[in-house]
Amino acid sequence: MTLLSLTGISKRYGAVTALDRATLEIKAGTLTAIVGASGSGKTTLLRLIAGFEAPDAGRIAFAGAEIAGPSAFVPAHRRAIGLVAQEGALFPHLSVGGNVGFGMDHRSPDAVDALLDAVELDPAIRSRMPHELSGGQQQRVALARALARRPKLMLLDEPFSALDAGLRANMRQMVKRRLTEEGVTGILVTHDQQEALSFADQLAVLEEGRVVQAGSPRELYLQPRTEMLAKFLGDALIIEGIVQSGETDTPLGRVRVGRATADGQVRVLLRPEQVRLVSWSEGTPTAEIVSASFEGPVTVVTFRAAGVQFTLKVPSADAPVQGRASIVLVGTGHVIPQ
Amino acid sequence: MFLPRALTGLRSSMAQAPIELERAAMSLGRPPMAAIWQTTMRLAAPGVAASVALVALGAANELTGTLMLAPNGTRTLATKFWALTSELDYMAAAPYALLLILLSLPLTVLLRLQAERALRR
């Protein structure tokens, strides 16, 4: 069931177009990550969904009713949409308990404690003030505060960006667990593609105010619609090749591509983990190693194959450092549409 | 005349409250006016109080402004004190001076306490 649908949303600030006919559907109970470079319109999109601003064109429907569009505008406080802002945005003049209880219709210490417990905080923290908490604790309190209103949809605006790496992964898992268990649909806005890939059921990529592609993380990672998208979601090898009945000849050797691909010149995407460099044997595609630079777990190997230079991160354990190696390709390549 | 004094305090305290707080309050079910009242205004309150105190102190001690602008016959502590000291009647002026000090004292102490609290943060 679709919980939220955005249809042809546009928003301009003066001469700047923040959103340009963006369209997106979000199913109830799922987690969606919206990714994009800064300035791609993702924060604007979140503000429109939250109801802090109205779109110039298009409509937003939430739980079967239009909440923004030509015929209606429901203000933020009547939308039942929760929000966790970038740095928590806790009310500095209220204690943790006061913050969590802020949105409750019937405030009770037990309910506050239960929520603090749900976000894995010690309820004894209740009487502390926000500036006495660490960044991670503040974010947990912000989540508890937003959950207190039992929203159907939770908006997460880069909530992990201020945390250090280890804590970030931890928080991400906690938030994911919490939302899934409470049955709350989640939208995470982030510029960190790794975070997006590991958090979401659905990934939507924004580019210059448009949703360029939306789908499962696996689909977007392996079958991106554009070259830019391919590079945005991770390291990518994009190679020229010539298709002949479902197989492509490339400088790296022969790659299988989808059967439906028409014969001719194409550009094929391979992820670095699909390319293996093994000890050389006669009659295989050959990589002439140009340089290898050791970086701990991985070694960055630059090599030449059929006259074209490539750079690849290879697990250090069996990385070739000089001479030549054979190239083995794993899985299928993805032909990037022209 | 006391507007700049009032504005410095007000401005800095309003600027301390980020708009995210208002938005958070709205997403927690507060209508816009209530959200502003409970976040930005609430956080600006100490600044407002400080501004009021500064203006009150200034107004109580003001002499030249009062002499120039007040209608004839207006008497304030400051004008009275000034009038008496210029007649070299220090004995008669002393109670007015004392009253001025006493009146300013609570607000001065209050401002000092607030400044210390702000420093500790």
**What are the tens digits of pLDDT across the range B54-71?**
888 888 777 778 777 878
Q: Are strands A153-157 and A81-84 parallel, antiparallel or unpaired?
A: parallel
Helices A135-147 and A165-182, axial angle in degrees (round to 10): 10
**Higher local confidence (pLDDT), B11 or A292:** A292
Distance CA A218, CA A236 (A): 14
Report chain A's mean pLDDT, rounded to a whole number: 89
Give the position of tokens 């991106």: A224
Phi, psi values for residue A306, rounded to 5°: 50, 40
pLDDT of residue A73: 92
Sheet holding A16-27, edge to edge: A16-27, A2-13, A57-62, A65-68
pLDDT band at residue A259 using 50, 70 and 90 as cut-offs? low
Distance CA A281, CA A324 (A): 9
Q: Do B20 and A89 count as a contact with CB atoms less than 8 A apart?
A: yes
Tell me if chain B has a CB within 8 Å of the CB of A259: no
For residue B32, list chain A residues with Cβ-Cβ distance below 8 A.
Answer: 75, 77
Phi, psi values for residue B81, rounded to 5°: -60, -45
Q: Do A145 and B28 count as a contact with CB atoms less than 8 A apart?
A: yes
For residue B31, list chain A residues with Cβ-Cβ distance below 8 A.
Answer: 75, 77
Cα torsion A108, A112, A114, A117 to 10°: value is -160
Distance CA A135, CA A142 (A): 11
Distance CA B48, CA A266 (A): 68
**Higher local confidence (pLDDT), A177 or B40:** A177
Distance CA A184, CA A31 (A): 9
Cβ neighbours, 10 Å, residue A2: 12
For residues A87-97, give the mean pLDDT.
Answer: 90
Distance CA A92, CA A191 (A): 27
Report chain B's mean pLDDT, rounded to a whole number: 83
Give the position of tokens 């083995």: A328
The distance in angstroms from the start CA to the end CA of chain B is 32
Tell me if chain A has a CB within 8 Å of the CB of B23: yes
On whether the CB atoms of residues A176 and A31 are closer than 8 A, the answer is yes
Tell me if chain B has a CB within 8 Å of the CB of A257: no
Q: Do A76 and B43 count as a contact with CB atoms less than 8 A apart?
A: no
pLDDT of residue B121: 61
For residues B80-92, give the mean pLDDT.
Answer: 85
Residue in A77, A93, A146 nearest the CB of B26: A77
Give the position of tokens 């006016």: B33
What are the tens digits of pLDDT across the range A23-34?
999 999 999 999
Residue A49 is classified by DSSP as: H
On whether the CB atoms of residues A239 and A309 are closer than 8 A, the answer is no
Tell me if chain A has a CB within 8 Å of the CB of B118: no
Tell me if chain A has a CB within 8 Å of the CB of B43: yes
Could you tell me the pTM of the whole model?
0.81
Q: Which residues pair with A84 in a beta bridge?
A: A156
The domains located in chain B, with CATH, are: 3-120 (1.10.3720.10)
On whether the CB atoms of residues A91 and B21 are closer than 8 A, the answer is yes
Give strand ranges (E) for chain A: 2-13, 16-27, 31-35, 57-62, 65-68, 81-84, 153-157, 185-190, 202-207, 210-215, 237-244, 247-250, 253-256, 264-270, 275-279, 286-295, 298-305, 308-315, 324-329, 334-335
For residue A146, list chain B residues with Cβ-Cβ distance below 8 A.
Answer: 27-28
Residue in B27, B38, B43 nearest the CB of A92: B43
On whether the CB atoms of residues A203 and A220 are closer than 8 A, the answer is yes
pLDDT band at residue A75 using 50, 70 and 90 as cut-offs? very high
pLDDT of residue A129: 93
Distance CA A264, CA A248 (A): 9
Find the range with the poorest average confidence among A96-100, A240-244, A316-320, B65-69.
B65-69
Please determine, for residue B5, whether its predicted confidence score (pLDDT) is greater than 80: no
pLDDT band at residue B93 using 50, 70 and 90 as cut-offs? confident
Distance CA B112, CA A25 (A): 57
Q: Do B21 and A91 count as a contact with CB atoms less than 8 A apart?
A: yes
pLDDT of residue A245: 77
The domains located in chain A, with CATH, are: 2-229 (3.40.50.300), 235-335 (2.40.50.140)
On whether the CB atoms of residues B32 and A75 are closer than 8 A, the answer is yes
For residue B35, list chain A residues with Cβ-Cβ distance below 8 A.
Answer: 77
Residue in A83, A90, A145 nearest the CB of B23: A83
Q: Cα–chain-centroid distance for residue B34?
A: 26
